[in-house]
Amino acid sequence: MDADIGMLRWRCRRGMKELDLLLTGYVDNEYRDAAPDQRQAFRRLLECHDPLIYDYLLGRVPPPDAVLSALIERIAANRSNDR
């Protein structure tokens, strides 16, 4: 699992520092304990372009399904807790 986490951390490196921090924070703090559907949703999220991920996190665009929506809420909640 450590190699998988390392690969995910690398894929969390985006063009926007805030996304880097939020996505890496999710991997470091929650991914290991996440349910399989949440892990799959996170991998799908990483396939999205940065502006779309950012729009999801800011609530500008609704995620396409409930699992991805719940994931976005968890990641956004971490942003609020870090402030």
pLDDT, mean over the chain: 92
Give CA separation, 3 vs 21, 26, 50, 57, 78, in Å: 20, 16, 24, 27, 24
Give the domains, in start order, of the chain with CATH numbers: 2-82 (1.10.150.250)
pTM above 0.75, yes or no: yes
What is the mean pLDDT of the segment spanning 26-35? 95
Minimal CA–CA distance to 38: which of 63, 59, 60?
A: 63
pLDDT over threshold 60, residue 15: yes
d(CA 12, CA 14): 6
